[in-house]
Amino acid sequence: MSISINNAIDIAKMRIAGRLGAEVLDYITPFVVHGVTTDALDKLCHDYIVNVQQAVPAPLNYAPDGHTPYPKSICTSVNHVICHGVPGDKVLKNGDTVNIDITVIKEGYHGDTSRMFHVGEVSIQAKRLSELTYKAMWLGINQVKPDASLGDIGYAIQSFAEKNGFSVVREFCGHGIGKVFHTEPQILHYGRPGQGLKLKAGMIFTIEPMINAGKRDIKQMPDGWTIVTKDRSLSAQWEHTILVTETGYDVLTLSAGSPATPQLI
C-alpha cells in the first residue's frame, strides 16, 4: 500500500482546495429551502465553482472502474439516501434532510467536504441523527495524530454511534486525497483501537462517517450511483479533509460558515 506523505507545497495547495470546497457549502446554504430542486442546487454550485472560484467540480464525469461517468457537479443525498445522490428534479420540502457533498479541484489538488442541511423544521430523530453524526466525525478527527492507528478513528466513530442506537455504514469510507480524488489509505468508520495502519505526519485523508437511524444495510439504485438504506431509514453524513501534523491534526476544509466544533467528552 503506497501512502503519500505530502510536502509543504502539497499542503499549501490542499489548504486552498479545502477552503474552496467549504466555501461552496457556505455559498449554497441560503438556497437549500422548501421548493428548490436538487438540480438547481447543482447548477448554482457548478457555476460558483467554475466562474467564481476558477476551479473544477471533481464529481462531474468522474468514472472510477465499473461506473458510468457521474453526470453532475455535486452529490445531493436526501433523507434515506446514504451517499452519491444524483441531483435531478427532486423538489426539497419542509422536513427533508440533505447531505451536500462538494469536491473542487484547484491547481490539480482536491478539496473534499460535505454537510447536512435541514429544510424547514425536521423531525426530532432527523435532528438527533444529524447532530450525533457530526459529533461522531469530530470524535474520529480527534484521534488523529502521528502513531495513532486507523482503528482508533473507526472505533471512536462506531462506538459512539452504536451507543446512541444508530448504525455505521461499512461499504463506504474515507480516503486519502491530494492530486488524486480517491487514494490510499481507506479510512473505515468502524474498527478496533490500535489496529491498522499507523498515521504519519504529512498524510491527508477524509473522515466522512455515514450513519443510519435504522440498520446499516444498503442498496444501490439503478442509476449505478445512488446508495440508500435498505430499510428506508434516515441516513446522515458529514465530511472533512484532515492533515496529520507533527503534533496532531489540522482540518483543511473549514471556512467562515463552517458549523462550530462540538463539545467532545
- Give the model confidence (pLDDT) of 91-113 as tens digits: 999 999 999 999 999 999 999 99
How many distinct structural domains can be found in the chain?
A: 1
- Residue 265 in domain: no
- C-alpha grid cell, residue 100: 451536500
* Nearest-angstrom CA–CA distance, 117 and 76: 10
- Residue 257 in domain: no
The residue assigned the cell 433523507 is: 79
Domain hosting 14: range is 8-251
* Nearest-angstrom CA–CA distance, 91 and 213: 23
- Residue 81 in domain: yes
- Residue 96 in domain: yes
- C-alpha grid cell, residue 63: 468514472
**pTM of the predicted protein model:** 0.96
- Residue 241 in domain: yes
Can you give the CATH number for the domain in which 234 is found?
A: 3.90.230.10
Question: What's the sign of the alpha-carbon dihedral 115, 29, 177, 69?
Answer: positive
**3-class DSSP assignment, residue 124:** helix
The closest of 21, 259, 32 to 138, measured between CA atoms, is 259
Per DSSP, the chain holds a count of helices (H) and strands (E) of: 4, 15
Tens-digit pLDDT profile for residues 209-241: 999 999 999 999 999 999 999 999 999 999 999
- Residue 264 in domain: no
Beta partners for residue 113, in sequence order: 102
pLDDT at 2: 78
- Residue 19 in domain: yes
Inform me whether the pLDDT recorded for 150 exceeds 80.
yes
- Residue 204 in domain: yes
162 and 216 in contact (C-beta within 8 Å)? no
